[in-house]
Structure 1
Amino acid sequence: MLCHCYSQQPFEHCCQPYLLGTHSPHSPLALMRSRYSAFVLGLGDYLLSTWHPDTRGQLTAGELRTVGHSTEWLGLTIIFATGEATNATGMVEFKARYRENGRVVSLHERSNFERLSGRWLYRDGLINPPKIKPNQACPCGATHHSTPKKYKHCCAKRSV
């Protein structure tokens, strides 16, 4: 079975080890993908445990489980991702599609992640972030000969 996160990888080699707690996500992108899979599967405890305690408010695992189970998840597209195992912060911009009340909805978010006690956690996100113009530096931080790559030549051309 392919992973729920649309990585085109087998579930057991992608998000499952994170969801079972046998491994911790090594990057914000890995955490983002595993959180999407957790929503699909209604794993409220995992979602709550990977949410930064400073920003999750009064959310409960039960509420997150209900959201996951009551939603028909249709797809995840990664726009760009920053942050590796040695960074303190990272970012993932994504679009998640789901069906609500018979219509397809797209959630477009630029999410912020923080490493706390060695674990990546979802901190917060900006819904419908401002569009990145083609000639702006790519937010993923990619460079070519020490010069920032333009967005149109980097993440605008691909999905992660």
Structure 2
Amino acid sequence: MTETCPCCSGKQYSLCCAPYLTGDALPETAEQLMRSRYTAYARQNVEWLIASWHPSQRIPEMAQRLSESFAATEWLSLNVTCCNHGSHENEAFVTFFARYRENSQIRAIHERSRFLREDHRWYYVDGIAPQVGRNDRCPCGADKKYKKCCG
């Protein structure tokens, strides 16, 4: 039986994010890394989350904090809305909208994540919440204006 990848790519898990989470391959693009990080949250894979975080952003208590967050969180969906190159070939940005359930409440993250490639390997660095206008299309992927959907 084939399992669809949690990253919502529509691909089979074993052919999508699984090779990254098991250490059999490295993502070739920032989007692949972003999707694999979402999948790592969904599958509660602390090791991949830490390994894919830029070393300059890691803190000693990161593994404990991530593990504690898993108990109350169920990841529901991911919508990648934009992928851009940065100021040089080793920088990229991925904008996404992810839904999750935490303590019985549906919540969402809308982020423009920054990635850096060092020694042929992509890392997540940080992110910001992008501005969405009331009349813009909703970043959740619904074909509605933001004000009529998630706004």
Q: Secondary structure at the match of 2:57?
A: coil
Per-residue deviation, 1:56: 2.6
Q: TM-score, length-normalised on structure 2? A: 0.80
In the superposition, relative to structure 1, how do residues 29 and 69 fare at CA in structure 2: closer, same or farther (>3 Å)? farther
In percent, how many aligned pairs have the same letter? 36
* Residue equivalent to 1:130: 131
Q: Which amino acid aligns with 1:17?
A: P
Per-residue deviation, 1:70: 3.0
In the superposition, relative to structure 1, how do residues 118 and 92 fare at CA in structure 2: closer, same or farther (>3 Å)? same
Q: Which runs of 5+ in 2 are unaligned?
A: 144-151
Per-residue deviation, 1:58: 3.4
May I ask how many residue pairs the two structures share in their alignment? 136
Per-residue deviation, 1:68: 3.2
For 1:36 and 1:123, locate their aligned partners in 2 and report how far apart those are by CA, in whole Å: 15
Q: Which runs of 5+ in 1 are unaligned?
A: 135-151
Once superposed, which parts of structure 1, at least 4 consecutive aligned residues long, lie more than 4 Å away? none
For 1:121 and 1:112, locate their aligned partners in 2 and report how far apart those are by CA, in whole Å: 9
Per-residue deviation, 1:83: 4.2
Per-residue deviation, 1:60: 2.4
RMSD, aligned CA? 2.6
Q: TM-score, length-normalised on structure 1? A: 0.76
CA deviations on 1:6-35 (whole Å, 9 max, x unpaired) are 000000000000001111000010000000
2:73 to 71, 76, 92: 71
For 1:48 and 1:79, locate their aligned partners in 2 and report how far apart those are by CA, in whole Å: 24
For 1:49 and 1:64, locate their aligned partners in 2 and report how far apart those are by CA, in whole Å: 13
* Residue equivalent to 1:51: 53
